[in-house]
Amino acid sequence: RKEVEQDPGPFNVPEGATVAFNCTYSNSASQSFFWYRQDCRKEPKLLMSVYSSGNEDGRFTAQLNRASQYISLLIRDSKLSDSATYLCVVTPGGNTPLVFGKGTRLSVIA
């Protein structure tokens, strides 16, 4: 069973669209949750942490459902610059290693 599973993608959306990504994780001991962004052939960069109450950062909203072991990311008003691969990442917490999903590719089209 894969530890972190994500929508396969790719998602091709027009500028201004709203797009949602989903992720499920198998380790019920996971305590910390993140969305990372990765551009082609570049390093992953932290987009936002995900908190139990849900959190928002500008056009980005993340939600966590611990009971269902499910995480989501919503991007509103998509920009061309949002085109990237979005990685769902979990960890038991502290300084334990991050576990990455395979990522979902987003292409925002003019």
Partner 1 sequence: EPEVTQTPSHQVTQMGQEVILRCVPISNHLYFYWYRQILGQKVEFLVSFYNNEISEKSEIFDDQFSVERPDGSNFTLKIRSTKLEDSAMYFCASVQNGGEKLFFGSGTQLSVL
Residues near partner 1, by CB under 8 A: 32, 38, 41-46, 49, 87, 94-103
Q: Cα(78)–Cα(16) distance, rounded to whole angstroms?
A: 5
CB of 46 to partner 1, least distance (A): 5
3-state SS, 32-50, equals EEEEEEECCCCCCEEEEEE
- Percent helix, strand and coil across the chain, each rounded to 5? 5, 55, 45
Cβ-based nearer residue to partner 1, 81 or 95: 95
Cβ-based nearer residue to partner 1, 28 or 95: 95
Q: Helix, strand or coil for residue 16?
A: coil
Cβ-based nearer residue to partner 1, 78 or 90: 90
CB of 66 to partner 1, least distance (A): 18
